[in-house]
Chains A and B, each alone.
Chain A
């Protein structure tokens, strides 16, 4: 019996050779347990070693292998070729990010945003080791738990047209993580982070498209974090007129 094959069309871009990206089609042996990631790995191993892409864990937890697969932001390790076979599969670097090379995007902007939200607990009350651990009730854990599942895969940014139109927008994942720390009962840096929420780059860039939450592979709801913070930002703005000393900035 002849070996089954599937066509994978890849958007290629080599910064030293190409003026702009172009499409290249590869014919890859197909088995029904193959992920799209395995498909592109086959291309790199046997057809064209110059193909560049990021990957690591192969089990949807490292967040490295995000790609546009037939135009949908997806983790290529948990997207299977059998769901497209016998049709051709189109693979492209994540939308809305600059292409570094082939399927590799430039993450510089996101890393800066991630740093800017201070993604760590800044304790409300410093405790010494003798005072013991910070305690939290199940309800307090529930307030932020889902937002802590973010793996920084950036699918939500590839799903956010507002980020595409304005790359300065802090964006879904960074705001979901910002919210994760702001609503943590142990944290005390909400006022600092609210400056970013309220800024030009902040939550009001969002027009509630909601696709970010649809594509999230870890069932985080970034749209919820962003939109809850629109209310928080509005409250921050109006309450400063009532609060002594002008309230939050």
Chain B
């Protein structure tokens, strides 16, 4: 008879056991803010479809200090989410060869962040221009 009796350790609380996993859970958790913010925008769209009064009521609801606090929190969460998203990007792509050399992970992350920042400010400028 075999004397083997392999012991399987529990996975309970696995993410608290290593700072790397704690950071992983935090950056994955920021996705909830992305979802919540998408929910707010969709509500706005729904209110817009319901007519001017509903739209104005939604706009004034957004003036609530709690909403403003949430937006600041969401901005911070989304910024961190964007950073971690581009940080992991080089690990998810096939090698990019430029001039016979592999593009470094740092160059891929840097370009991603630069494009995302430019797109954000570009969109902000367009909306700003339309609102004036």
Q: Which of B7, B9, B15, B18 sits near A71, CB closer than 8 Å?
A: B18
Please classify the interface of chain A as helix (H, G, I), strand (E, B), loop, or mixed, using the class held by over half of its residues: mixed
Q: Which of A20, A98, A143, A165 sits near B6, CB closer than 8 Å?
A: A98
A221 touches B6 (CB 8 A): no
Total residue contacts A-B, CB cutoff 8 A: 70
* Alpha-carbon distance A214/B24, docked complex (angstroms): 13
Stretch at the interface among B39-47, B58-66, B72-80, B85-93: B85-93
- Contact count band on B: 20 to 34
Give B3's nearest chain A residue, CB to CB.
A16
> B106 in the interface, Cβ–Cβ < 8 Å?
no
> B120 in the interface, Cβ–Cβ < 8 Å?
no
Q: How far is the CB of B102 from chain A (nearest CB, A)?
A: 8
Instruction: Return chain A residues, CB-CB under 8 Å to B5.
Output: 15-16
* Alpha-carbon distance A164/B108, docked complex (angstroms): 30
Contact string against B for A residues 218-239, beta-carbon threshold 8 Å, 1 for contact and 0 otherwise: 0001011001101100000000
* Alpha-carbon distance A224/B92, docked complex (angstroms): 5
Residues of A within 8 Å of B, CB-based: how many?
33
Contact string against B for A residues 106-121, beta-carbon threshold 8 Å, 1 for contact and 0 otherwise: 1000000000000000
A15 touches B4 (CB 8 A): yes
| Residues of chain A whose beta carbon lies under 8 Å from any beta carbon of chain B | 13, 15-16, 20-21, 71-72, 95-96, 98-100, 106, 139, 142-143, 161, 164-165, 207-211, 213-214, 221, 223-224, 227-228, 230-231
